[in-house]
Structure formats: structure tokens, C-alpha cells
Structure 1
Amino acid sequence: MNLKLDPEDIEHRGILRDDDVRLIRSRVGILLSIYFADGWSQEKRKALITCLGDYLSFFSSEVTHFQVDDEPKMRAYKEGGVPDEYRRLLDLPETDSLFVYLKQADTAEPWDPSRLMFMGFGHRKSKVWPSSGIEVHFSPRFVFENTDRFVGLVRNWSQRLEAVHGSCGLGVLSGPGSENSADAYYYPWLMQYPALEYDAMGSFWTETQNGGSELPRSSNWLTILGNANVERLGGLEAIRAFFARLPHAISELRSGSPHSGRIPASRSRRASSAILSSGR
């Protein structure tokens, strides 16, 4: 299927249906992944719930369901802020993991990964899965109509969570657990459009449980690098010099409270987190 670089076309034609029952199994949309450390800490868990609140400030009228713990069925979401069930997760001890999963669901399309979804993991204090993360779906229309607003949102979330790495762009959206070969409805999209973003967080953590979860998993339209990864590339100024002649923009992420708008470059030699935009 030849999609146009148009949000309406992507949302209406960028879907893949099951050959047998003709239900939606995957789609193309905006996919954001942010990985961060210390997901067991109260600070990071509060930051995650705050990010969820930001998301709902835009989409609470469109989100329909959310999951609590390992309940087999999702609960109906009533328009408003963060569900009380999720706010109570902040009382969990460090030895328990935090999980939130909220989406726009259609009962007639039970396998549709949805163009709107927020999934967050704050893993318990353990050496097995040392990193945590959020995976978020956005409608192409939301991003295309105001890219500055969207980049600002990603910048604030990356800063708030003290991102280790992350990436964002047009990607294949698929449901949790659909990354196995028998349910690989994301694969045809990647065959036709190799530059699409794709992420299966559980697979990433499993594959890196013996090391490597701190290294960037991917790069795309937006690439998020934490302090250590910026330093691995020689520092922020070295990155700026490398991309000086290319259509990339680099935003530095300062420590402390989130900033809005353009963040000026630091003149110190201190390592800095950054968001790289490819300009695509």
C-alpha cells in the first residue's frame, strides 16, 4: 500500500487487517519510546504519572479504556484526568513494579493497537530489568498540525524522566504481545517502509537483561540521548559539529524542571542530554 505523507491518509488507509476475520491487527501512526533508569523510585514514578496526565490533557475525550494490574478486561475510562487507580500506584513499594496501560478502544476491533495509547513501566528495584520506559501512540493529525508543540512535549517528558535514550517518528503500531512470529502483523509494514519506527519493549528488556539496556535502541525523526550516550559520542559540541551541514536540529535537555520552547545550548563542557531532530 502506497501511503501519502498526509495524516488523513495515514490514519484511514494505514491499517493492516487479518486475512481471515478482516479485523485490524496493525496500523501506521506516531510512535514514541522513552527509556529511563530507576523506575522503582518515587520520583520517577511521579514523573511517569505526570506524563500520563499531560497525555490525557490532550486526549481524555478520545481515550476509552484503561487496564488495572493483570485484570483480563480493561475498565471504561471516564473523561477527566489520571484515574485514581493509577494515582494509588505511587504507594507501591520499590519491590513492586508499576504498570499503566490506557488507550482508545473499539469493541468491534478488539485487536486494533489504536492510534492513541499510553503504556508505562516503572520496574521494581532489580538487576534483571534495570531500565523502565513509556511507549506512546499519537494520531498523525495531532503531530502534523503543530510539530513544535509535539517536540516540546517530548522534550519535557524526556527531561522529566531523565531519559537514557528514546526515539520517535512514524512507526508501526501493534498490540502488546504481538511481536512473536505467529502474530507479526507489523512485518509487512517494515518490509515496505524500512524507516518506520518499531518497538517491542518487553523483547528489548529481555534481550538486554545481561547488559546493554543503557545503549540507544533506535533512531528516527526524533532521537533522544541521555548524558552517558551524549558523552559516548564525544559530547554535545562534537554532535553539533558532526550535524552542522545536515538538516538536523539539536535541543539540549537541562536538569531540573521542564522547559518549554527552544532550549539554548550550554557553553559548559558538562555532558548534556539532547533530542536530535532529523528534519524529515
Structure 2
Amino acid sequence: KGDTLTVSHILLHIEQSDSAASKTDRRADSLARMAASTDQPAKFDEAARALQIPVIRSTVVEGNTMTVNGQYIPSVGPWAFQGAKPGETSELFDAADGYYLARLDSLTPGGALSLDQAKQDIRNYLLRQKKTDALVPQAMNYARVAAASSMEQAAKLMNLQVVSTKPFTRVTGVPELAQAPEAVGAAFTLPLHSVSEPIRSIGEVVVERVDNRIPSSRAAFEAQKESLRAQALQQLRQQRVREFLTNLRAVAKVDDKRKQVEASSRRTTQ
């Protein structure tokens, strides 16, 4: 089992209008000045109160996607597992859908659990598996009817609801499929406008149809390549700095002789 951590983070929603975006940018700058990249956890709460931004708590396991209420949260998980200490606050992360600032509240080391420690997790896992198994026959029937007519008609007939997602990539995913990465992957191989077979994940079964697919553009990549390279280098530099500071804290031995120096200075000036 991987390490488990609990973090608090702040979300700022970016509106599409220029005036709203400018206001959000100013609030984000204020948030960064007040609470970003600090080891004083109280500053995080003080900034949230001052800017009237809600604090949302979430738990993530190393290697898993971090989501809150189905919303994918970028950058926070990797930051937290790359040497951050409980109480530390991240830099301000800038994503397409908003700004994110996180504080690492606790970190539970991974490793093998005893049977007593793992018992509840095992029970919950088996319960989810059992519930998922019960959904498979209904999903197979729905997929069969939808393939013969349409997903909308089959949903109406079986009293179900069709959920449409926004465009997504293999990396970003979408909130609706946050707990079904298998369905995200299948969406990039499924023929357009065809209905998939039931796609089983932990806790849910997905039947999907791809309505549109935009091929990746080499020209668009070339246009953004320098920006992407700069962003990757910046993230790498930040990671190296965090690793350096972590190692420095682990091995550093500091003798605080300020009192002696101040006393010596006073004697010299007398």
C-alpha cells in the first residue's frame, strides 16, 4: 500500500470574462503572497479567512489521482509526495480551470498493514466489488439495447440518465470518470458513435459512446513546445530545491550562537 496523506487546499474558480479573470488573478496573487511556500500552517487559514475562500479537505494515496467531489485536482498530489512535510504549504498551482494552493496536514507512511489495520479496508473493497458485480447484468442489458437504438432511447426505456462530459485528454480526464480510468482509456480506442461494452471499474460500471474526437496536432505541439519545456524545467527545478531542503533538514546540525554574538557585541560597544 502506498503512502497516504491528508491535505487542505483552496480552489479559486476562473470565470471566462476578462474582468472576472483579472479579479481572480489579483486574488490569486494575494493568496500566494499571504500563504504560498511556507512552513507556517496558520498562514493558510489566515489567508482563507482574509480572502473568504473556503478550505476543502481531501485524502489521496500515492500514485492515485486526487479528486474532490468528482473534480480532478492537478499538481497537488505530486507536490505532497515529493518531500513536503506536514504543515507546509505548496506554491500556487495554475491550472486551466483555476488556481490551487495546498497545505499538507498529515502523512501516513505506506507499507504492509496488519490484518487488524487492513480489515476495514478489505471489507469496504469487497463490498464495492459486490455492488459492482450486481451492476454488470444491468449494464450489459443497457449496452445491448443502446447498440440497437441509442443510448438516450435505452436510458429512457430503462429509467436511467445519460451523462455527457466535456472534452478531455488521456492526462486530464473528467470528473464524471474520475473513478473509472479504464473508461477514460477506452474512450480513445472506441470507434466514434458506437456504444461500448460495459467497462468495469472499482465501484462502478460504465457504458460509453464517443461523440467527437479531435486528433492531436503536431503543429499545435510545436507552437507550445517551448512553453511546455519551460514549464517542465521549472517544475524540475522546484522539485530539486524541495529535495535539497528536505535533505538539508535531515542532516543539518545548527548551533545557535546568536546570544553569545550579541553579548560580545554589547561588550565591544561599551
Instruction: Give the shorter-chain TM-score range.
Output: under 0.3
Q: TM-score, normalised to structure 1's length?
A: 0.21
> Where is the helix percentage greater, Structure 1 or Structure 2?
2
> Where is the strand percentage greater, Structure 1 or Structure 2?
1
Q: Which has the higher contact order (CA 8 A, sep 6+)?
A: 1
Q: TM-score, normalised to structure 2's length?
A: 0.22
